[in-house]
Amino acid sequence: MMKLSSCYDELGFLPPFCRTVDLTDLGGTNCYCDAEAASRLREVISGLPVKAIHWIDTGDYHYLSLFWLERIGRPFALLHLDHHPDDQPCAFGGDVISCGSWVADAKGAIPDMRCCVTVMDASTLVDIPEGMPVYVSLDKDVMSRDYARTDWDQGEMSLQEVMDVISHALEGHELLGVDICGEITADKGACGEDVEINLRTDKILSEFFVPLLN
């Protein structure tokens, strides 16, 4: 669990056997990640397992997925569930990574990422080459507000549809790791109902992914 905001403390969410990394004092990370922060984040995760559930805070920090993908070290497919494609060039260019550019950055910098499928609704066709291992990146904003409350505009998928897409996509494929973002904090307007909905969904997702990783 990578804490860059107060979201997980506000949720009171800590899955069993979960290791937490407190990064709330690290600057240069909110929506955009500068070179100094990126170097520190790569250092922090260097000794942590890729094959795990990585809780990566709000959607403002979805670029953290890039640092996990860099560590896979063999050919793989990315299954990206998100209401946004996150494949736009970063407005600042250079060494800056953003929550909206990390997929484009991964495509350009990680030759082992042989396939990227972005799922924005339940009708998306998921076609992953036979036998290719898969890394899953899930932004909960792909779901409707009945199942997640985020700080970005949201899609219409149900939690069950998300799990069905992932289960189907992983048939015959090794799951290399998972990251999940899409929380909301009190300073961005989270209320008690938001916390209740997010906590319930997070617990279900945790229980869903654990056996898939074993």
Q: Identify the pLDDT of residue 89.
A: 77
Cross-strand pairs, 118: 80
CATH number at residue 200: 3.40.800.10
Domain coverage including residue 78: 2-213
Amino acid 94: pLDDT: 60
pLDDT digits (tens, 9 = 90+) for 145-170: 999 999 999 999 999 999 999 999 99
SS3 content of the chain, % helix, strand, coil (to 5): 35, 20, 45
Q: What is the mean pLDDT of residues 63-71?
A: 97
Q: How many CB atoms lie within 10 A of CB 75?
A: 13
CA nearest neighbour of 132 among 180, 87, 169: 169
Counted domains in the chain? 1
Specify the pLDDT at position 95.
77
- Residues making up the chain, counted from first to last: 214
What are 53-63's pLDDT values in tens digits?
A: 999 999 999 99
